[in-house]
């Protein structure tokens, strides 16, 4: 099992491997902020607390399907929250991050995996 620091580093590296992504560390209240085409599409607070900006349609669908939680402060901007606690949380987080990246990079048809968060906060992979 990876430590929180190792998970955080893997998450950052996977985000940075997306096309055209740049990072600004300590960008305001965000420890790690990620940009594509000049727009911040997601940021991380601490180790694994991901705030991911989606299109309004994607945000509504993701929340309805239980794949993420509503953002506490800026849901009107399309943000959702997903917390990476362990190895199993990496793929569902990256799926949401790819969705955001595709929206802000202007790409369509990004493959999506099926994950949900149950009421206890555990990630459940749907087959």
CATH assignment at residue 54: 3.90.1150.30
Assigned token pair, 42: 């997601």
Count of domains observed in the chain: 1
**Burial of 115 by CB count in 10 Å (0-12 exposed, 13-18 middle, 19+ buried)?**
buried
Average pLDDT, stretch 37-65? Answer: 93
| Residue 112 confidence (pLDDT) above 70 | no
| Residue 35 confidence (pLDDT) above 70 | yes
How far apart (Å, rounded) are the C-alpha atoms in residues 102 and 16?
A: 14
Q: How does the average pLDDT of the chain come out, rounded?
A: 85
Amino acid 52: pLDDT? 96
Average pLDDT, stretch 57-72? Answer: 94
Average pLDDT, stretch 46-58? Answer: 92
* CB 41, CB 58: distance < 8 Å: no
Write the CA distances from 21 to 8, 37, 42, 43, integer angstroms: 17, 8, 11, 12
Parent domain of 76: 4-125
Write the CA distances from 45 to 2, 95, 102, integer angstroms: 18, 19, 22
| Residue 47 confidence (pLDDT) above 50 | yes
How far apart (Å, rounded) are the C-alpha atoms in residues 30 and 110?
A: 26
- Residue 80: name the closest of 89, 95, 70 by CA: 70
pTM over 0.75: yes
């Amino acid at each position: 099992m990876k430590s929180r620091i190792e998970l955080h580093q893997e998450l950052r590296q996977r985000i940075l491997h997306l096309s055209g992504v740049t990072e600004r560390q300590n960008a305001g209240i965000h420890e790690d902020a990620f940009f594509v085409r000049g727009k911040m599409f997601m940021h991380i607070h601490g180790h694994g607390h991901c705030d991911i900006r989606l299109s309004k349609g994607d945000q509504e669908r993701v929340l309805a399907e239980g794949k993420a939680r509503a953002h506490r402060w800026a849901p009107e901007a399309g943000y959702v929250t997903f917390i990476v606690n362990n190895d199993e949380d990496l793929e569902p987080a990256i799926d949401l991050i790819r969705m955001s990246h595709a929206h802000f990079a202007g790409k369509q048809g990004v493959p999506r995996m099926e994950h949900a968060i149950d009421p206890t906060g555990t990630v459940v992979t749907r087959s």
